[in-house]
Amino acid sequence: MPFGAELLFDELKRYVGFSVDDERWLHHLGPLTAPYIEPIVTVFYDRILQHREAKKALVGGERQVGHLKVTLVAWLNELFAGPWDNAYYERRARIGRVHVRIALPQHYMFGAMNVLRIELMRVIDTVVVAEHRGDAQAAVSRMLDLELAIMLHTYREDLLAQQARTERLATFGQLVGSIGHELRNPLGVIETSVFVLKGRLEGDARVTKHLDRIGEQVTLSNDIIRRLLEMIRDQPVQRQQVDLAATVTSALSTFTVPATVEVKLEGLTGLPLVGGDPVQLRQVTLNLLENALHAVGDEGIVQVSANRGPGGITLFFDDSGPGIAPAIRARLFEPLVTTKSHGIGLGLALVRRIMERHHGSVVADVSPLGGARFEVTLPENA
């Protein structure tokens, strides 16, 4: 966790009054509350499914409740287990970020936490003797206040960051749209002139060679403009049932992989189909594979694996390369930010745009292979 985040977690603890005594009580209550956790989770989701608007806020609706119950059981068990350290903060902070991604209204956070609070207080009434009941309830209440503070802080932080990205992209889009239109006309003239000159100077090998180079650069320039325009346009998603395993295999077949680079595909078979645009999702896979292969160079490992969780299907793109420089980590998905010596920084920005159109997400992390990891998550009913 960054130093600033560590200070923030300590400040949140002080704000809600969470103390070492509360930690002791939570450790003590863990084994006592364990038999009641699954019934509490059942009550929690029964309440949600009775409320039409709350039910709509679920990712995947009622079909996902089974997966979400497992996640909430683990969340409640960790609530009592600790340790309440920096790693704990980071795990809990991800929940607030997920709430931003699925556009969950904040009042549902308060309502959900209140349901858990009421049910846990009932359990304490059952498992703790009267003389210590107040201390036990206060410890749990402060812990839930701390959980809510973490969620709300990360929700606000990520929402502001998302708004800032949207504003930057809007400004960037206006600039790109204008420049793209202005550049396509002269590039078209150059392309036509090259075609005419090649026909008239067909016998001059040296001139033809240079004309070919000009033609290649014109094609490259047009391709850059096309990708810029693709990124800023709100292209509609042509939804079909997409086989992610086949998408990865198809994208991989377009690359020439050196014999000294090992490519591993794990956990892709048996994945359910997802709803999405096959062309756009293939573009996501192409861009992430290209980045991974570029990162390892002539020797290393690239791995694509998958996991099915409550948030949907997650594809992991791992490489054994040098990883992501800390200086650009926070801006990695912004246009024109790149780690490549000859790149212009459009690939990851386009990946994020496509994932947003599919109500999914993409995040960067450190790979178990030592390099970079990109996690792409798609809801099963995208």
β-strands 261-266, 300-309 pairing:
parallel
Compute how many other C-beta atoms are within 10 angstroms of the C-beta atom of residue 220: 10
For 38, 196, 203, 204, 219, the CA distances from 200, given in Å and listed in that order, are 80, 7, 8, 9, 21
Compute how many other C-beta atoms are within 10 angstroms of the C-beta atom of residue 327: 8
Q: Are 337 and 328 in contact (CB under 8 A)?
A: yes
pLDDT of residue 260: 92
pLDDT of residue 331: 64
The tokens of 103 are what?
Answer: 């556009």
Provide Rg for the chain, Cα atoms: 26
pLDDT of residue 238: 78
State which amino acid sits at residue 118: I
Is residue 162 classed as helix, strand or coil in its secondary structure? helix
pLDDT of residue 305: 92
Instruction: Name the strand (E) or helix (H) holding 264.
Output: strand 261-266
Distance CA 228, CA 222 (A): 10
Concatenated DSSP letters of 81-143: H---SHHHHHHHHHHHHHHHHTT--HHHHHHHHHHHHHHHHHHHHHHS-HHHHHHHHHHHHHH
State which amino acid sits at residue 91: R
pLDDT tens over the chain, length 382 residues: 444 445 778 888 888 888 899 899 999 999 999 999 888 888 877 776 666 665 555 544 445 556 667 777 888 888 898 888 877 877 777 766 666 555 556 666 677 788 888 899 999 999 988 889 899 999 999 988 888 888 777 777 766 666 666 666 666 666 666 666 677 778 888 888 888 888 777 777 888 888 888 888 888 777 777 766 666 566 667 788 888 999 999 889 888 888 899 999 988 888 888 888 888 888 889 889 988 998 898 889 999 998 887 667 889 999 998 887 776 666 666 655 555 545 545 667 788 888 888 888 888 888 889 888 999 988 876 5
β-strands 300-309, 312-319 pairing:
antiparallel
Sign of the four-CA dihedral 230, 233, 236, 239: positive
Longest distance between any two alpha carbons in the chain, whole Å: 102
pLDDT of residue 108: 66
pLDDT of residue 116: 86
Q: Are 345 and 338 in contact (CB under 8 A)?
A: yes
